[in-house]
Amino acid sequence: MIKSYKARRTVANTLIYVILTILSIIWILPLVWIVMTSFSGEEATFIDHVIPTSWTFDHYIDLFTNTKVFDYPRAFLNTLIISIFSCIISTFSVLMVSYAFSRLRFKARKPFMNVAMILGMFPGFMTMIAIYYILKVVGLSQNIVGLIIVYSAGAALNYFISKGFFDTVPKALDEAATIDGATKNQIFWKIILPMSKPIVVYTVLTTFIAPWTDFILAKMLLRDATDQYTVALVLWNMTDKEKVDTFFYNFCAGAVIVAVPITALFLKMQKFYVEGITGGAVKG
Amino acid sequence: MNYIDYVQLNPFQKFVYKLKSFFMAIPGALAGFFKAVGKAIVAFFVGIGNFFKDYANNFAVGGLATKLSYVIMGAGCFLNRQIIKGVLFLAMEVGFIAYMVGFGGGYLSQFGTLGTKEAYTGLDDFGMPVKVEGDNSMLILLFGTLTLVIIVLFIYLYILNIKVAVNNEKTVKAGNRPNTILQDLKLLLDEKFHVTMLAVPTTLISCFTILPLIFMILIAFTNFDHDHQPPNQLFKWVGFGNFGDIFISNQLYAQTFGKILGWTLIWAVVATFSCYILGVIVALMINKKGLKCKSIFRTCFVMAVAVPQFVTLLLMAQMLSQSGVVNVILHNLGWVDQPIKFLTDTSNPTMAKITIIIVNIWIGIPYTILSTTGILMNIPEDLYESARIDGASPFVQFMKITLPYLIFVTTPQLISTFVGNINNFNVIFLLSGGGPSNVHMYQAGETDLLVTWLYKLTMNNNDNNLAAAIGIIVFIICGTLSLITFNNTKSVKDEGAFG
Amino acid sequence: MFSKTKKVAGVALAAAMVVTAFAGCGGGSNGSSSNTSSGSNSNTSASSKQEVKAITVDEMLKDADLALKDEGKNEQVSLKVWAPSDALDTFEEQCKAFTDNFSDRKIKIEVVAQGESDAAANVMNDPSAAADVFGFVSDQASKLYPGGYVSPVRAQYAAAIKDTNLQGAIDVASNDGNLVSFPETGDNGYFIYYNKSLISEDQIKSLEGIMKACDDQGKNFMMNLGNGFYGCVIPLTAGGTYELDADGNQVLNYDKDKTVKVAKAFADLLANDSHFVNDDTDKVLASQLRTKKALAGVSGTWKLNAMKKALGDDFACAKLPTIKVDGKDTDMISMFGYKLIGVNANTKYPYTAQALAYYLSGEKCQQERMEKLGWGPSITKMVESDDVKNNTCLKAVYEQQAHSVPQIGLAGSFWDPTGAFGSYCVEKKNDLTEAGLGKAFDDMVKSITAV
C-alpha cells in the first residue's frame, strides 16, 4: 500500500516535472527569442530561419547613436524622469489615501470610497481628450511634466490593495499609541509606515514601472512633441508597419534594454509584490 | 446555506447554486440600488430644505459677525480675531468673483447653445485667405463644466464660511476664544488628519479624473462628430440622440454595437476564467510538496510578468504575423504549406479570437500564479489531511477544497479582473488592432472590444459623441456587474465599498 | 490661444481685414464673408478675378513685402512644419534656405517628424497645436478639405501652380475648383520592384509572365490585395471610378459584369498559385527580395531606399503588369496618389506659412527632393525631363500614372471593403465562380455605400 502510494507519487511528480518544464519553455521562449533577435546580424528583417546566421552588437549601438528618426536615449531619459517623479508622488498619494480609508473614520469615508470605485469603472481612455485640453490650459500639454501629473493623479484610485494591507495591521497599535499621547499624524509616520515595508515596496514598484509600460496616455498627451516621447511610445512607433521593416532589430534591442532592468528589479522585489497582492487580496 | 454546507455540494450543484444565487440576487441588488438612489435623492432634497431653513434661521438669530459673513465671506473670522482664516475666505470670494467676471461667466452664458458664431475663412485685401475665428464649442463645454464645478465648490465654501461664523459666535457666547490658526493646524494633524491625507489626492483626482469625466459624459449628449469639429465648426446638444443611434435608429451603428458587445462579454468571461483556472492549476503544480527547483519554475513564469506588457504584446504581434517567426517555424517543420494568418484572416475571424485568447493566457497565467501562491499556502493543511483520509483523489481535493477556498477569498480580485478585461485595451490594440476587418461594421474589426472601438472612433474618425456614449454604456455594464457580485459576496460584506 | 483678450483681438483684427477685403473672390466658405465685404469698395471687386496675376516662386522670394507683408518685421514669426521622419534633414535644409532668403525678417521654423499618412487625424485632433505647414497624402483630402482645416492657396500662387503642375496633382489639391493645397510630389502610386537577375524585362510586363517565372524558380510575387489601396486594382482595371456626392458619401461607378470578369482573371491566375503572396508588402517585401524568396512585388516610392538596399545591383522597377481578361492583355489600372502640402487654416502667420508652402512645392525644392529622397515631382516640366527618364524608379511611376485613377473623392468607408474583396479573389478556399465573385462584389459595394 505504502509502496504503491510512493510509486504513484513519483509518477505524479515526474509528470508534473515534465509539464512544468514544457510550460516554462513556452513561457521563456519568446523572451529568449527577442534577446536573440536583438543580436541578430541578419540583413533582412523577415527571414525563413529562426536562429540568426551571424551575430552583432550594432543594433544597440545604432539605437543610441542614430537618433535622427527615433531618439531612444532621449526617450529613455524622459521616461526615467517621469517614473522617478511620478513614483514619489504616487506612492505618497496611494499610501495616504489607503491609510485614510483604512484606519481613519470620518463622515465622508464611505461616499469617497464609492466614488473612487465608480470612477474606476469608466474606460480610462475616455477622459484622455479632456485631460489634454485641461493640461493645455495650464500650458503643460505635450510635456513630460503634464504626464507626471496625470500619472500621479490617477494613482490614488488604485488604493484597494494597500488599503487591504493596512486593514490587516492590528487596531490595538493605534489605540495604544493614542493613549500614549501620539497624534494621528505621528501614528502614521512613526508606527504604521515603518512596519508597512511590503506594501511600500509594492507601491513604489508598480508606480515606477507604470510609465515604462504605458504608451496610450503618452501618445494622447504628447502628440507631435517628439523630444518628449517616452520609451514605450518610441518602441511602439518602431513597430509601425511602415517602419518595422527597418527598425525591427532596433525595436528588439530597445525592448531588451527596457525589460532587463525592470525584470531584474521585479525579480528582486518579487517577495514584496506577492506579499502586497496577497495581503491586499485576502481582505479585499 | 453556510460555507460548510456549500463546500459539501458536488461541483455541479455548486455551479447551479452559484448560478441560482447570482440570478436571484439580481432583482434584490437592483431593488437595493434603486432604493439607495431613491433614499439619496430624498436625503438630498431634505438636506436642501434643512439648509434653507438653517440659512434663514442663522441669519435671523445671528449677531453682526454672522450677518456680515452672509455677504462678506470671512467676516465671522475677522471679527473673532481669526485673521488668516478670514483672509483665506475673503480671498476665495474675491477670486471667485474675478473668475466669474473675467473668464467663467462668459463661457457659462454660452453653455446652453455651445456657441453660435461659426469660424470661416475670408480674404484680406491682398487676396490672402485669413481665418476668422468663431466660437469654440469644445472650449465652451469644457470651461462651462469647469465653471459649474467651481460654482459648486464655492457654494460649499460659502456654507462653510457661515457655519464657521455661527460656531464662532456660539464659542464666544460660551465665554471661550475661537480657535487660533495654530490650533486649527494642529487639528489637521490629529482629529482632522483625514483632511490632510486626502486633500492633495482628492484635488488631483477632481482635476484629472472627475472633471474630464463630466466633460466626456456631457459630450455623449452632443453631436461632436467628424462633421462638427471645433474650432472650425460648432456642435450642439442633441439629448439622447446618440444612444438612439447606437441602439436603434442607425442600423450600421446598432449592428456594430451588438457584435462588439457580444464579443466583449465573451472575451471578458473567457479571458478571466481561462487565466484564473489554468493559473491556479500551474500554481498548485509549482507548490506541490516535495517538488524541487520550485524557484526556477516560478522565475520562468514571473519573467513574463516582469517584462513590460506592451513589449511582449508587440513582440507576439510580430511573431504571429504572416511572415513572423511562428509561421517560419511551422513552415520549416513542414506542418503548414501556406502561412497561417493568425490575426488577420478576414474569412475566419474565429482564428484571430482564439489566438488572442491564447496569447492572453500566456500573459495572464503568471499573474494568477503570483497572486494565488500566497493564498494557496494559507489553506489549512488539515482540510487536505482529512480529505486524504477519506480517500479523496487530488482532483476531488482540488474541486472540493482548493477552488472553493480560492474563489471565496479572491472574488473581489476576480471581479476587478473581469472589469479590467472588459476594458482590456492593450491586448487587443497591440495584438490585432481590432482586426481582421469586417465590412459590416462601422470603424471596427472582428476583435474590437468596446474600448478599442471607442479609441478608433475618437482617434481615427473623430466621432467623440459616439465614443462618449459607448464609454457610458461600458460603465453601466461594469457597474451593474460589480454591484450585483459585490453585494452577493461574503468576503466583501464586512468591508465592502457599497455598504 | 486661451487668453480671452488675445482671442478677441484676433477676431477683431481678422474681421477688420475681411471688411476691407474685396468681394467675389470666392474664398469664404460661409455667407458672412460676402456680408462683411459688401461694405468695401466695389470697384476693385468687380475686376479682381481677372486681375489675379500669377507670382512665380522666384518672384515671391525676391519680394519680401509681397510674400510676407508685415510678418516678421517686428514680431518673431515661428512656424512648425511636419515632415516624414526619413526626410527631416532635407526639409530642415529647405526651410533654412527659405529663412535665409528673408534674412531681414525674424522667422524661425521648426521641422517635426510626423507621418504623412495620418496627417488629417493629427491636424483634426487639435488644429491649434498642429503644424502650420504639413505634408499629407492625397487620401487625407476628404477629411481635411470639407472641414476647412487647410487654408485655400493664395490666388496669385494658385494661378502659377495651376499652370505648371500635373493635372492629376491639381485635381487632388483642389476642392470645389479652388486650389486648397500645394502639390508636393507626383509619385504616390505603386508599381513593381523586381530583381532583374531573376526575371527578364519582357516577362515582368505581364502577370502571366511573372507567375510563370515564379513557378519556374520557386520564388514569390507579392502584392497586398488585402489592402484597399492595392485591392482596388481589380475594380479599377475593369474601368471603375469613384467620387463623392454632395453629402460626402461614396459613389462607385463600377460595372459589375466587367469587374467580375477581371476578378475571375485574378482568381484563376493567383488563387491556386502558392507563389503569389498576399501580405503586407510595405512590411515584408524588402526582406523577401533581399533573401531572394521573392523575385518581384508591388510597392511604392516610400519604400525606395529599403528596396535599393535589398536588391543592390539587381534593382529594377516596372509599371504594373498586364493581365489577360477575356484573352486580351489588359493594363492594370491602379489608384494614384499625390503628396500635398497643406497650410493650417489656424496658422497665426498666413503669409509666411503660405510663402513657405509655396517655396517647398516649387521646382528647386522638388528637384532637391528628387535627388536626395527619390521623390517624384509634380511639376509637368520636371516629369518630362531626362532626370525622370533616366531614373529607374520614377520612370515606372510615371508610366503607371498613365494607367491610373487619381486618389481623390474617397470616403473612409472605401478601404476595408475594397481590401476584403481583393483578398477574397485570391484565396482558394473561397467560392471563386462568377456567382461567388459576384456576391463578394455586391457585398463590397453595399458596405462601401451603406454608410
d(CA B93, CA B100): 11
The alpha carbons of chain C give a radius of gyration, in whole angstroms, of: 24
Mean pLDDT of B420-429: 91
Residues B472 and B358 in one domain: yes
Residues B437 and B400 in one domain: yes
Minimum Cα–Cα distance from B138: chain C residue: C126
Minimum Cα–Cα distance from B216: chain A residue: A127
d(CA C371, CA C66): 30
Nearest Cα neighbor of C385 from C405, C371, C402 is C371
Split into its structural domains, chain C has a count of 3
d(CA A69, CA B229): 31
Q: Is residue C193 part of a domain?
A: yes
All chains having 3 or more CB pairs closer than 8 angstroms to chain B: A, C
Mean pLDDT of B354-362: 94
What is the per-residue pLDDT for C147? 84
* Closest CA–CA distance from residue C229 to any residue of chain A (Å): 15
Minimum Cα–Cα distance from A264: chain B residue: B306
Residues B345 and B235 in one domain: no
CB atoms within 10 A of CB B99: 16
**B120: which chain C residues are within 8 Å (Cβ-Cβ)?**
28-30, 32-33, 148
Residues B35 and B141 in one domain: no
Tell me the pLDDT of chain C averaged across its residues: 86
The DSSP-derived string for C88-104 is: HHHHHHHHHHHHHHTTT
**B440: which chain C residues are within 8 Å (Cβ-Cβ)?**
447
Q: Which 3-state string (H, E, C) describes C349-401?
A: CHHHHHHHHHHHCCHHHHHHHHHHHCCCCCEHHHHCCHHHHCCHHHHHHHHHH
Split into its structural domains, chain A has a count of 1
Residues B269 and B416 in one domain: yes
Q: Which of B213, B239, B265 is the last residue of a domain?
A: B239
d(CA A190, CA B215): 41
Residues B268 and B302 in one domain: yes
Residues B131 and B45 in one domain: no
d(CA B30, CA B258): 24
| Inter-residue contact C412 to C142 (CB < 8 Å) | yes
Residues B67 and B26 in one domain: no
Nearest Cα neighbor of B75 from B172, B159, B164, B150 is B164
Residues contacting residue B491 through CB under 8 Å, at least 6 positions apart: A284, B408, B409, B411, B412
What is the per-residue pLDDT for A56? 93
Location of C-alpha cell 453631436: B223
Identify the band that residue B293 occupies on the pLDDT scale cut at 50, 70 and 90. Answer: confident
Touching check for B133 and chain C: CB below 8 Å? yes
Minimum Cα–Cα distance from A147: chain B residue: B208
CB atoms within 10 A of CB B60: 9
Minimum Cα–Cα distance from A48: chain B residue: B328
Percent of chain C with pLDDT over 90: 64
Minimum Cα–Cα distance from A137: chain C residue: C2
Q: What are phi and psi of B393, to 5 degrees?
A: -75, 160
The contacts found for C248-256 with CB under 8 angstroms, 24 or more apart, are C248/C142, C248/C146, C248/C411, C249/C411, C249/C449, C249/C451, C250/C410, C250/C411, C250/C413, C250/C414, C250/C448, C250/C449, C250/C451, C251/C449, C252/C445, C252/C448, C252/C449, C254/C441, C254/C445, C256/C438, C256/C441, C256/C442
d(CA B201, CA B211): 14
Location of C-alpha cell 489601396: C229
All chains having 3 or more CB pairs closer than 8 angstroms to chain C: A, B
**Interface contact flag, C113 A69, Cβ < 8 Å:** yes
d(CA C401, CA C396): 8
Mean pLDDT of B274-299: 86
Residues B261 and B205 in one domain: no
For strand C334-343 and strand C133-137, is the pairing parallel, antiparallel, or unpaired? Answer: antiparallel
By Cβ distance, the residue of C88, C122, C287 closest to A47 is C287
Split into its structural domains, chain B has a count of 3
**Interface contact flag, C350 B128, Cβ < 8 Å:** yes
C179: containing domain: 57-186+338-389
Interface subset of B 240-259, CB within 8 angstroms of A? none
B17: containing domain: 1-51
Predicted confidence (pLDDT) per residue in B245-256, tens digit: 888 888 888 889
Residues C2 and C137 in one domain: no
- Which residues face C253 on adjacent strands? C241
Residues C193 and C161 in one domain: no
**Interface contact flag, B121 C18, Cβ < 8 Å:** no
Residues C296 and C330 in one domain: yes
d(CA A266, CA A259): 10
Q: Is residue B57 part of a domain?
A: no
pLDDT over threshold 70, residue C451: no
Nearest Cα neighbor of A184 from A102, A81, A66 is A102
pLDDT per residue of chain A (284 residues) written in tens, 0 to 9: 456 777 877 888 888 899 999 999 999 999 999 999 999 998 888 888 888 889 999 999 999 998 888 999 999 999 999 999 999 999 999 999 999 998 888 888 888 888 888 887 888 888 888 899 889 888 898 899 999 999 999 888 888 888 888 888 888 888 899 898 888 889 999 888 888 888 888 889 888 888 888 888 998 899 888 899 999 999 999 988 888 888 999 999 999 999 888 888 888 877 777 776 666 555 44
What is the per-residue pLDDT for B495? 46
Identify the band that residue C2 occupies on the pLDDT scale cut at 50, 70 and 90. Answer: very low
A193: containing domain: 61-283
For the complex shown, is ipTM > 0.90? no
pLDDT over threshold 50, residue C11: no
Residues C257 and C135 in one domain: no
Q: How many residues are recorded in chain C?
A: 451
Nearest Cα neighbor of A233 from A221, A247, A219, A220 is A219
Q: Is residue B67 part of a domain?
A: yes
Q: Is residue A13 part of a domain?
A: no
Q: Which of B210, B239, B268 is the last residue of a domain?
A: B239
Q: Which of C348, C367, C389 is the last residue of a domain?
A: C389
Q: Residue B405, SS3?
A: helix
Nearest Cα neighbor of C135 from C341, C380, C396, C416 is C341
Residues C308 and C344 in one domain: no
Q: What are phi and psi of C298, to 5 degrees?
A: -100, 125
Predicted confidence (pLDDT) per residue in C353-383, tens digit: 999 999 999 999 999 999 999 999 999 999 9
Q: Is residue C40 part of a domain?
A: yes
* CATH number of the domain to which A198 belongs: 1.10.3720.10
pLDDT over threshold 80, residue C31: no
pLDDT over threshold 90, residue B302: no
Q: Name the least confident of A3-17, B335-349, C138-152, C201-215.
A: A3-17
Interface subset of A 190-229, CB within 8 angstroms of B? 209, 212-216
Grid coordinates given for B226: 467628424
For strand C241-244 and strand C250-253, is the pairing parallel, antiparallel, or unpaired? Answer: antiparallel
Predicted confidence (pLDDT) per residue in A85-104, tens digit: 999 999 999 999 999 998 88
| Inter-residue contact C137 to C337 (CB < 8 Å) | yes
Residues B130 and B8 in one domain: no
Q: Is residue A145 part of a domain?
A: yes
* Closest CA–CA distance from residue A126 to any residue of chain B (Å): 6
**Interface contact flag, B423 A109, Cβ < 8 Å:** no
**Burial B123-155, CB ≥16 within 10 A → b, else e:** bbeebbbbbbbbbbbbbbbbbbbbbbbbeeebe
| Inter-residue contact B269 to B357 (CB < 8 Å) | no
Mean pLDDT of B99-113: 91
Predicted confidence (pLDDT) per residue in C102-158, tens digit: 999 999 999 998 888 888 888 988 888 899 999 999 988 988 998 889 999 999 999
By Cβ distance, the residue of A126, A251, A281 closest to B216 is A126
By Cβ distance, the residue of B304, B314, B409 closest to A27 is B304
| Inter-residue contact C109 to C356 (CB < 8 Å) | yes
Grid coordinates given for B418: 473581469
Predicted confidence (pLDDT) per residue in B4-46, tens digit: 666 666 666 666 776 677 667 667 767 777 787 888 889 888 8
Residues B37 and B67 in one domain: no
The DSSP-derived string for B174-214 is: TTPPPPPHHHHHHHHHTTTHHHHHHHHHHHHHIIIIIHHHH
Grid coordinates given for C346: 489656424
**Interface contact flag, A242 C282, Cβ < 8 Å:** yes
* CATH number of the domain to which C138 belongs: 3.40.190.10
Q: What are phi and psi of B371, to 5 degrees?
A: -80, -20
C1, burial (CB in 10 Å: exposed 0-12, middle 13-18, buried 19+): middle
What is the per-residue pLDDT for B488? 63
| Inter-residue contact A278 to B375 (CB < 8 Å) | yes
* Closest CA–CA distance from residue B233 to any residue of chain C (Å): 8
For the entire predicted model, the pTM comes to 0.86
Q: Is residue A254 part of a domain?
A: yes
Interface subset of B 141-160, CB within 8 angstroms of A? 142
For residue C213, what is the enclosing H or E element?
helix C207-217
Q: Is residue B499 part of a domain?
A: no
* Closest CA–CA distance from residue C61 to any residue of chain A (Å): 29
Residues B276 and B132 in one domain: no
End-to-end Cα separation, chain C, in angstroms: 36
Instruction: Indicate which of C126, C190, C227 best probes the interface with A, i.e. most A CBs within 10 Å of its own CB.
Output: C126
Location of C-alpha cell 494591507: A165
Residues C148 and C252 in one domain: no
Interface subset of C 389-408, CB within 8 angstroms of B? none
What is the per-residue pLDDT for B2? 60
Touching check for B2 and chain A: CB below 8 Å? no
**B196: which chain A residues are within 8 Å (Cβ-Cβ)?**
185
Q: Letter for the amino acid at C303? A: K
pLDDT over threshold 80, residue C1: no
C347, burial (CB in 10 Å: exposed 0-12, middle 13-18, buried 19+): buried
